């Protein structure tokens, strides 16, 4: 048995035990994680600093280092997220429905944990905390496979949490971290369906595509986010500008950041000149279509640019003829993550809602809100762009399944 297989088996062997813990015990574990952060912030930040320095030596881009970096403010945000998860109702054991068919059996549909969840992610140590909090509260064991760039942070975080669990009478094997960050190691993990019930990849397009292509474990795809802000001809242009700048510039490295701006031709002359000035104040490079270039001075966008999640200070801009053209463009080039229309026309907003095939569709609000914390889920394990039971920000309920409890009184089928 390989080391990776042993780690996954440890999680499998502990899964039934965790699934039967009550809410009070699971919340106590989450409070222990908060104590770990408060009491060991210096150690966690020191380990993270090693990862950041290594990334800088390797000339990683600014947005990558931003995702990688922990600081006291981000640790405080993580604590707040865990507190919110604690405050949420425990979904496990919820009776979804009860019914008695003609055969006389009493059938109860009950919510249960998935079992063992594997999460493959890149240089985001905050994800380590979010995933552990959500999986513990939802009664799932977890196998964490972070990237090599964040290995020092993850080893410190997971080691401290497991030590706290052990010292307080909880099984530390509920949480597993793969130290092997090689490509061969992650490919092995993808094949361990006898131990892992579900894989969730969080990262760039190539990571997600690799997991979907190679995994024998069921996979939930989490977004790459090619998100759009569409400024309709009847938009409040001041509002549109505020939404655009927030959606694009608040944090360019996240999957809910706007990567493309669409503007109705009728208002393009007026809006694009103002938008260009504000975007350039925020160091955003503009790649525009042929019509955009006629209005503002910018570099020409290629067809590939409109498909691209930049994760950087770059935005593609397209002038469209109408709402119909905007909808067609988004459904062609988007990644079914988050898309916004800015308009005062309620009928146009309704048509946008009905025809944009994305997990989150916004009217007069920034795509930056697509986030488990903002949706009231406490945190998220990822943002699903699939059309299955888990779509959009994935909180506690999205990490559950169900089973049927069937009660009889000597019933036999004839």
Q: Mind listing the pLDDT tens digit for each residue in 154-204?
A: 999 999 999 999 999 999 999 999 999 999 999 999 999 999 999 999 877
pLDDT band of 286, cuts 50, 70, 90: very high
Token pair of 401 as six digits: 């399944």
Pair 78, 218 in one domain: yes
Within 8 A by CB and 6+ apart from 134, the residues are 85, 378, 379, 380, 381, 395, 396, 399
Q: Is residue 83 part of a domain?
A: yes
Residue 231 and residue 218 share a domain: no
- Per the domain annotation, does 54 fall within a domain? yes
Q: Do 305 and 215 reside in the same domain of the chain? A: no
Across residues 215-220, what is the average pLDDT? 95
Please give the pLDDT value at position 12: 98
The predicted pLDDT at position 380 comes to: 86
pLDDT range class, residue 123, cuts 50, 70, 90: confident
Q: Identify whether residues 279 and 354 lie together within a single domain.
A: yes
* Span 108-129, average pLDDT: 95
pLDDT band at 111 (very low <50, low <70, confident <90, very high): very high
Q: Are residues 56 and 79 in the same domain?
A: yes
Q: Are residues 208 and 113 in the same domain?
A: yes
* Residues 226/337, Cβ–Cβ less than 8 Å: yes
Q: Is 253 helix (H, G, I), strand (E, B) or coil?
A: coil
Q: How many domains does the chain have?
A: 2
SS3 336: coil
Check whether 388 has a pLDDT greater than 90.
no
Q: Please tell me the predicted confidence (pLDDT) of residue 63.
A: 80
Residue 385 located in a structural domain: no
> What value does the mean pLDDT of the chain take?
95
The reply to whether 85 falls in a domain is yes
Could you tell me if residue 15 is inside a domain? yes
Core vs surface per residue 145-173: b (16+ CB within 10 A) or e = bbbebbbbbbebbbbbbbebbeeeebbbb
User: What CATH number has the domain bearing residue 327?
Assistant: 3.40.309.10
Structural domain range at position 195? 3-222+394-407
Counting residues of the chain whose pLDDT is more than 90, the rounded percentage is 87
* 239 shares a domain with 102: no
Q: For the domain that residue 198 is a member of, what is the CATH number?
A: 3.40.605.10
In this structure, the answer to whether residues 101 and 231 fall within a common structural domain is: no
pLDDT of 373: 83
280 lies in a domain? yes
Residue 312 within a domain? yes
Residues whose CB is less than 8 angstroms from the CB of residue 404 and which lie 6 or more positions away in sequence, other chains included? 107, 108, 109, 110
Is residue 192 domain-shared with residue 283, that is, in the same domain? Answer: no
Separation between Cα atoms, residue 133 and residue 194, nearest integer Å: 24
């Amino acid at each position: 048995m390989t080391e990776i297989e042993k780690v996954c088996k440890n999680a499998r062997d502990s899964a039934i035990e965790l699934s039967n813990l009550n809410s009070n015990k699971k919340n106590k574990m989450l409070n222990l994680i908060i104590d770990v952060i408060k009491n060991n912030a210096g150690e966690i930040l020191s380990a993270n600093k090693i990862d950041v320095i290594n990334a800088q030596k390797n000339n990683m881009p600014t947005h990558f280092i931003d995702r990688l970096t922990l600081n006291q403010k981000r640790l405080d945000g993580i604590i707040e997220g865990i507190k919110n998860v604690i405050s949420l109702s425990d979904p496990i054991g919820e009776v979804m429905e009860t019914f008695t068919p003609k055969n006389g059996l009493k059938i109860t549909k009950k919510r249960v944990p998935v079992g063992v969840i594997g999460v493959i992610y890149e240089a985001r140590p905050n994800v380590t905390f979010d995933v552990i909090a959500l999986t513990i509260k939802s009664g799932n064991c977890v196998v964490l496979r972070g990237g090599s760039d964040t290995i020092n942070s993850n080893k410190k975080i997971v080691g401290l949490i497991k030590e706290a669990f052990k010292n307080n009478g909880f099984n530390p094997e509920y949480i597993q971290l793969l130290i092997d960050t090689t490509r061969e190691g992650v490919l092995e993990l993808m094949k361990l369906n006898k131990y892992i019930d579900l894989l969730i990849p969080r990262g760039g397009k190539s990571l997600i595509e690799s997991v979907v292509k190679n995994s024998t474990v069921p996979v939930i795809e989490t977004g790459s986010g090619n998100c759009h802000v569409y400024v309709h001809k009847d938009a409040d242009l001041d509002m549109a500008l505020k939404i655009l700048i927030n959606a694009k510039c608040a944090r360019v490295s996240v999957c809910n950041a706007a990567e493309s701006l669409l503007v109705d031709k009728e208002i393009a002359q007026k809006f694009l000149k103002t938008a260009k000035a504000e975007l350039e104040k925020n160091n955003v490079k503009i790649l525009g279509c042929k019509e955009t270039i006629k209005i503002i001075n910018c570099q020409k966008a290629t067809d590939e640019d409109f498909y691209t999640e930049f994760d950087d200070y770059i935005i593609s801009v397209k002038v469209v003829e109408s709402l119909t053209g905007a909808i067609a463009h988004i459904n062609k080039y988007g990644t079914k993550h988050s898309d916004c229309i800015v308009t005062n026309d309620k009928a146009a907003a309704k048509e946008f809602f009905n025809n944009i095939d994305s997990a989150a569709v916004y009217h007069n609000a920034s795509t930056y809100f697509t986030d488990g914390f903002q949706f009231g889920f406490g945190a998220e394990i990822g943002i699903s762009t699939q059309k299955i039971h888990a779509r959009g920000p994935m909180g506690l309920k999205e990490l559950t399944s169900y089973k049927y409890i069937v009660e009889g009184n000597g019933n036999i089928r004839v």
